[in-house]
Amino acid sequence: MEQSGTITAQKRKEIFIEAFKLNNNITQACKEAHIGRTTFYRWNKQKTFKEKLDQAVEGLKDQIENKLIEKALKGDNACLIFFCKTKMKDRGYIEKQEIDSNVKIEGIDKLREAIKSGVPYQ
């Protein structure tokens, strides 16, 4: 049974996740839960805790993306350009060419075998 005035690790984990959702800062969430970063890193190796933290991070990404879209729709040029470059590459909004380097080179397997065996490649 839990002693009066003590907080279980599970409760501290819940406090940490809620604090992280509010301030999106690991250091601040550690302070709120009264834990050290070492404890956070240990907890972050646990599947359930990591899943909850990942969900909180995804929620933050969604909030930021929503703000970006909101500002872009209001005519903020920087947000419009950023959105186009990141979300509309398929429509040609890119500054550089992306090259797929996953190509099959004829004879590469023979060359590798020759190198491994020490036999000259022909």
- The pLDDT tens digits of the residues spanning 60-105 come to 999 999 999 999 999 999 999 999 988 888 888 877 766 667 666 6
At residue 108, the pLDDT reads 74
Threshold 0.85, pTM exceeds:
no
Instruction: For residues 58 and 21, give the distance between their C-alpha atoms in angstroms, rounded to a whole number.
Output: 10
Between 20-24, 59-63, 74-78, 108-112, the lowest mean confidence (pLDDT) is in 108-112
Q: ∠ CA 76-54-47 to the nearest 5 degrees? A: 175
Q: ∠ CA 98-85-64 to the nearest 5 degrees? A: 125
The domain locations on the chain are 9-94
* 20 pLDDT more than 50: yes
Between 4-8, 46-50, 107-111, 118-122, the lowest mean confidence (pLDDT) is in 118-122
pLDDT digit string (tens) for 28-72?
999 999 999 999 999 999 999 999 999 999 999 999 999 999 999
